[in-house]
């Protein structure tokens, strides 16, 4: 089949002065600077926010992956009338660039052709600097995943130290955190009406730095259940030098994530004060429908096709449909709650079906919807059944350690949507490729029957993450028994559907709280179940996550209990090897781990043994190759520098009594 013609250039937001002139513009109102290629699809932040502002009458231009070595690409678009909106892209630029072993990745899924090197490390700060160089006096906003998850002092894995707020390193005027539709629209509207950046400090969902002599404004955010108070975090200097202070600050930040009762946070950075306003309120169903009903072309900008390149991430999601955002799971290694929010925000069935019908009419559509989901496929339209309780709740997870009795876990809306979506003319198959929350699904036979019969292509991806109950508790994930019940339930549904189908489980190695004994337990489970995971995830400490706090401080921020952590490369290598014990090249590492753990019973030719008694030929060859290669040193990033921020203390001070008392009062 011939490839359909791409959407015309005029259907996209302009990306150059020539394209703006073709629109009849002499100046853009807002310029979005993005570390991603420009794909006009609702899965890409610059597109969804740019279209949202365009929908409300603003002229929006996109500066995608500019050459950051000078300000000339910024100047080429002209001076924005209102502001720059800067983002590193859909991922933190350091996670995008480096592996868990701090080695440079060899591909960038958000760049044309998967090429690397099209965005800088710590892209938000670099782009913000170029904005200021290009046109002085234009307000600079930093947002997106990178800025949002670095809005307070945070641990940075790649430099192995605590960094100040992104506002300090970027010198931006304002940091809208979270998803941004409400906040950015309010900012643009006020700037258009003549307001200054200082006038925007009363908005929800923004963070800013006070000047050295400025007093804290008297703003209140108690329109729901908040009490209007301000909570003071330990300072940057304290959290840099004292693990206990860092853990306490992490606890407070996560306790203030419910927008209906979150208080304003402040944190001293040298002689300046960081102010973080409560998150924006979640979007209503009508607002979600409006955002997803915008005129996206669902394609990359035509310039990439002209250069003979496509965007790998777009190829993955081009025929997917987002039905919701947010997550109430609260997994400690996940950033969704801090960015998208803990409230699940769902689209209406009519909105989703309209999008699928439009996809089915597109030339070249294969008939396959690649995914019907979001952060989690089966949380659609789930929320607290008691809004008055939800407004005051500070629980970090609605499903751990057990599912809250007030949570509406009905899968009926999801089942109805699945049935209607596959009935759309022109649709052959609707896949569910997003993660399944297994503890919610295991007791829903109607949902599992629907899923197994119609929406699984032979394999269903799930993420139990581990099988050690001790490790799973640190992750805020359900225990091993829950995963085993789901396996049995899915197998029953597959048998009823008359289909031979399999689960593809994902696991994490080296998560805080996980030791070699836990990984051996996982390896034995994999052997017994016949799983051979080809894709495994080494734990990467992402900024602001609870698990990252455990990794850096060795403390659980909720209990302040010690948490053992695999920090050395050798220890992390052992855990990963145990997860793939069946790979011949891991034989020597696995054998040593088993011997040191006193588990020689797992070495031999027995049915339950993990590895044979003698190394296979491939293992010996792999060891010879490894000995012949000199390992490259891990990448080390330069430390942050700013004249207003003091150096961290050389050793912990453990001076957190005042913070502990404050936590006791706000609990």
Quick check: is 660 in a domain? Answer: no
Q: Quick check: 649 pLDDT over 50?
A: no
* Residues spanned by the domain of 551: 319-580
Tell me whether the omega of the peptide bond preceding residue 570 falls within 30 degrees of 0, making it cis: no
CATH number at residue 177: 3.40.50.280
Q: What residues have CB less than 8 Å from 314, skipping those under 6 apart?
A: 39, 41, 44, 299, 300
Quick check: is 258 in a domain? Answer: no
Q: Quick check: 399 pLDDT over 90?
A: yes
Quick check: is 561 in a domain? Answer: yes
Quick check: is 305 in a domain? Answer: no
For range 314-332, the mean pLDDT = 95
Of 248, 252, 348, nearest to 293 (Cα)? 348
Give the chain's length: 667
| Domain limit, last residue, from 580, 613, 628 | 580
Encode 492-506: b = buried (16+ Cβ within 10 Å), e = exposed: ebbeebeeebebebe
| Domain limit, last residue, from 560, 580, 600 | 580
Quick check: is 215 in a domain? Answer: no
pLDDT of 220: 72
The fraction of the chain above a pLDDT of 70, given in percent, is 92
Tokens of 25: 């513009």
Spatial distance between the Cα atoms of 206 and 216, rounded to a whole number of angstroms: 15
Q: Quick check: 598 pLDDT over 50?
A: yes
Residue 319 pLDDT class (50, 70, 90 cuts)? very high
Residue 639 pLDDT class (50, 70, 90 cuts)? very low
Tokens of 462: 């799930």
Number of domains making up the chain: 2
pLDDT of 662: 34
CATH number at residue 443: 3.80.30.20
Mean pLDDT across the chain? 91
Tokens of 63: 């500066």
Tokens of 517: 């004994």
For range 506-532, the mean pLDDT = 96
**Which residue intervals of 507-562 are DSSP H helices?**
516-529, 546-553
Q: Which residue has the higher pLDDT, 64 or 537?
A: 64
Residue 5 pLDDT class (50, 70, 90 cuts)? low
pLDDT of 536: 81
Burial of 626 (C-beta count, 10 Å sphere; 0-12/13-18/19+): exposed
| Domain limit, last residue, from 580, 597, 628 | 580
Of 588, 568, 567, 564, nearest to 578 (Cα)? 588
**Which residue intervals of 87-215 are DSSP H helices?**
93-97, 123-134, 144-148, 166-170, 181-192
pLDDT digits (tens, 9 = 90+) for 652-662: 333 333 333 43
pLDDT of 630: 52
HEC readout, 367-414? CEECEEECCCCCCCCCCECCHHHHCCCCCCCCCCCCCCCCECCCCHHH
pLDDT digits (tens, 9 = 90+) for 6-30: 678 889 999 999 999 999 999 999 9
201 in the same domain as 325: no
pLDDT of 626: 75
Q: Which residue has the higher pLDDT, 401 or 654?
A: 401
Q: Which residue has the higher pLDDT, 640 or 368?
A: 368
- What 3-state class would DSSP assign to 492? helix
Spatial distance between the Cα atoms of 352 and 371, rounded to a whole number of angstroms: 12
Spatial distance between the Cα atoms of 449 and 84, rounded to a whole number of angstroms: 49
Q: Quick check: 161 pLDDT over 90?
A: yes
Q: What residues have CB less than 8 Å from 630, skipping those under 6 apart?
A: none
Q: Quick check: 419 pLDDT over 50?
A: yes
Q: Quick check: 310 pLDDT over 50?
A: yes
Alpha-carbon dihedral 434, 438, 444, 448, rounded to 10 degrees:
50
Spatial distance between the Cα atoms of 269 and 156, rounded to a whole number of angstroms: 17
pLDDT of 655: 34
**C-alpha radius of gyration, the chain, whole number:** 25
pLDDT digits (tens, 9 = 90+) for 535-567: 788 999 999 999 999 999 999 999 999 999 999
Spatial distance between the Cα atoms of 217 and 200, rounded to a whole number of angstroms: 11
Quick check: is 119 in a domain? Answer: yes
Quick check: is 533 in a domain? Answer: yes
Range name among 147-151, 378-382, 450-454, 648-652 with the lowest pLDDT average: 648-652
pLDDT of 622: 83
Contact 388, 401 (CB under 8 A): no
Quick check: is 424 in a domain? Answer: yes
Of 116, 122, 111, nearest to 37 (Cα)? 111
pLDDT digits (tens, 9 = 90+) for 173-225: 999 999 999 999 999 999 999 999 999 999 999 999 999 999 998 877 755 54
pLDDT of 105: 96
141 strand-pairing partners = 85, 174
Residue 4 pLDDT class (50, 70, 90 cuts)? low
Contact 113, 310 (CB under 8 A): yes
Tell me the C-alpha to C-alpha distance, in Å, between residue 451 and each of 494, 498, 590, 618.
Answer: 9, 13, 37, 40
Contact 165, 150 (CB under 8 A): yes
Strand blocks (E) in 431-567: 459-465, 502-509, 537-538
Residue 640 pLDDT class (50, 70, 90 cuts)? very low
pLDDT of 219: 75
First-to-last CA distance in the chain?
62
pLDDT digits (tens, 9 = 90+) for 438-476: 999 999 999 999 999 999 988 999 999 999 999 999 999
544 in the same domain as 412: yes
pLDDT of 226: 52
CA 441 from centre of chain: 23
Spatial distance between the Cα atoms of 141 and 206, rounded to a whole number of angstroms: 10
Residue 307 pLDDT class (50, 70, 90 cuts)? confident
Q: Quick check: 664 pLDDT over 50?
A: no
Q: Quick check: 663 pLDDT over 70?
A: no
pLDDT of 628: 66
pLDDT of 646: 33
408 in the same domain as 551: yes
Q: What residues have CB less than 8 Å from 305, skipping those under 6 apart?
A: 6
pTM of the model: 0.90
**Pairing mode, strands 272-276 and 264-269:** antiparallel
Tell me the C-alpha to C-alpha distance, in Å, between residue 539 and each of 95, 332, 397, 412, 542.
Answer: 11, 11, 21, 35, 9
pLDDT of 629: 59
**Pairing mode, strands 502-509 and 368-369:** unpaired
For range 239-243, the mean pLDDT = 96
């Amino acid at each position: 089949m011939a490839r359909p013609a791409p959407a015309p250039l005029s259907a996209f937001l302009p990306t150059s002065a020539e394209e703006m002139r073709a629109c009849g513009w002499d100046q853009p109102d807002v310029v979005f600077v993005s570390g991603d290629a420009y794909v006009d699809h609702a899965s890409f932040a610059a597109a969804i926010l740019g279209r949202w502002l365009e929908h409300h009458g603003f002229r929006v231009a996109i500066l995608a992956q500019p050459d950051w070595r000078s300000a000339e690409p910024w100047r080429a678009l002209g001076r924005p009338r209102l502001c720059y909106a800067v983002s590193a892209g859909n991922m933190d630029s350091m996670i995008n660039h480096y592996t868990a072993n701090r080695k440079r990745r060899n591909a960038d899924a958000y760049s044309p052709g998967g090429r690397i090197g099209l965005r800088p490390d710590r892209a938000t700060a670099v782009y913000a600097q170029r904005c200021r160089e290009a046109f002085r006096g234009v307000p600079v906003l930093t947002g997106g995943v990178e800025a949002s998850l670095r809005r307070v002092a945070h641990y940075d894995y790649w430099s192995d130290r605590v960094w100040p707020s992104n506002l300090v390193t970027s010198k931006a005027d304002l940091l809208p955190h979270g998803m941004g539709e409400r906040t950015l629209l309010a900012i643009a509207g006020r700037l258009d009406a003549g307001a200054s950046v200082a006038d925007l400090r009363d908005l929800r969902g923004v963070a800013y730095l006070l000047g050295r002599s400025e007093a804290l404004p008297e703003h209140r955010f108690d329109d729901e259940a908040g009490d209007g108070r301000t909570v003071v975090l330990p300072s940057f200097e304290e959290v840099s030098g004292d693990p206990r202070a860092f853990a306490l600050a992490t606890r407070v930040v996560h306790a203030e994530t419910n927008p209906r009762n979150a208080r304003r946070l402040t944190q001293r950075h040298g002689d300046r004060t960081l102010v973080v306003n409560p998150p924006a309120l979640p979007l209503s169903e009508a607002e979600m429908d409006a955002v997803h009903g915008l005129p996206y072309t669902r394609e990359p900008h035509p310039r990439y096709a002209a250069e003979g390149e496509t965007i790998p991430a777009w190829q993955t999601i081009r025929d997917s449909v987002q039905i919701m955002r947010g997550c109430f799971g609260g997994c400690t290694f996940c950033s969704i709650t801090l960015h998208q929010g803990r409230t699940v925000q769902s689209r209406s069935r009519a909105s989703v079906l309209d999008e699928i019908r439009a996809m089915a009419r597109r030339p070249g559509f294969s008939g396959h919807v690649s995914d019907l989901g979001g952060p989690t496929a089966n949380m659609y339209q789930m929320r607290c059944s008691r809004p008055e309780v939800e407004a005051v709740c500070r629980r970090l997870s609605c499903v751990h350690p057990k599912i809250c009795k007030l949570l509406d876990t009905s899968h009926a809306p999801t089942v109805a949507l699945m049935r209607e979506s596959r009935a759309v003319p022109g649709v052959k198959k609707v896949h569910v490729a997003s993660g399944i929350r297994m503890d919610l699904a295991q007791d829903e036979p109607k949902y599992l029957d629907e899923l197994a019969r119609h929406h699984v292509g032979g394999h269903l991806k799930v993420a139990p993450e581990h099988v050690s109950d001790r490790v799973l508790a640190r992750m805020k994930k359900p225990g091993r028994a829950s995963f085993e019940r789901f396996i049995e339930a899915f197998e029953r549904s597959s048998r009823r559907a008359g289909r031979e189908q399999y689960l593809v489980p994902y696991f994490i190695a080296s998560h805080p709280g996980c030791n070699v004994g836990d990984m051996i337990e996982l390896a034995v489970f994999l052997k017994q179940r016949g799983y051979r995971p080809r894709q495994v995830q080494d734990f990467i400490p992402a900024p602001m996550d609870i698990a990252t706090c455990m990794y850096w401080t060795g403390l659980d921020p909720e209990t302040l209990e010690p948490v053992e952590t695999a920090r050395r490369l050798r220890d992390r290598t052992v855990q990963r090897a145990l997860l793939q014990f069946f790979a011949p090249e891991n034989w020597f590492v696995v054998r040593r781990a088993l011997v040191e753990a006193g588990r020689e019973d797992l070495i031999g030719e027995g049915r339950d043994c993990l590895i044979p008694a003698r190394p296979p030929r491939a293992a010996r060859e792999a060891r010879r190759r490894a000995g012949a290669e000199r390992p490259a040193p891990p990448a080390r990033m330069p430390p942050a520098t700013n004249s207003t921020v003091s150096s961290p203390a050389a050793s912990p001070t453990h001076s957190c009594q005042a913070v502990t008392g404050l936590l006791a009062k706000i609990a």
